[in-house]
Amino acid sequence: MNTSTYSITAVTLYTNIGGDSDAYEATISINDDFVIQVSGNKEEALFSGIAHSDEKYHATKEKQDAAFNDLESSDVEKAIEEWGFENNLEWLKDNATTTI
């Protein structure tokens, strides 16, 4: 995967999941084409990976499904970490374009 062609274009942060103030979920848009999902709490951070279009999509279902089928989630995770992404609540709060 050529990471120079991918960039984070939006971060939607969902906080206070299940009433836990430390729990979060985030949907991260890549190039306004597809989304990945992450979540976590005080104890752990999870990289859920590239969502299937039945769950979430950003631009079109076709672009989301192409990413889901053609890209490796671990490559995307590594690439966004190289851009400075951190899967923790503070980084997400500081970089979210929308917080819900």
pLDDT digits (tens, 9 = 90+) for 71-97: 998 888 888 888 889 999 999 999 999
Q: Which residue has the higher pLDDT, 17 or 53?
A: 53
Distances from the Cα of 48 to the Cα of 4, 55, 73, angstroms: 22, 12, 8
DSSP alpha helix (H) spans, the chain:
61-70, 73-82, 89-95
What's the pLDDT at 1? 47
Checking if the pLDDT of 2 tops 60, the result is no
Name the percent of the chain lying above pLDDT 70: 96
What's the pLDDT at 38? 95
Give the Cα separation of 54 and 26 in Å (integer): 17
What's the pLDDT at 27? 95
Structure confidence at residue 36 as a pLDDT band (50, 70, 90): very high
Calculate Rg over the CA atoms of the chain: 13
Q: Cα 97–32–39 angle (5° rounding)?
A: 55
pTM for this structure? 0.85
**Residue spans per domain, the chain:** 3-99
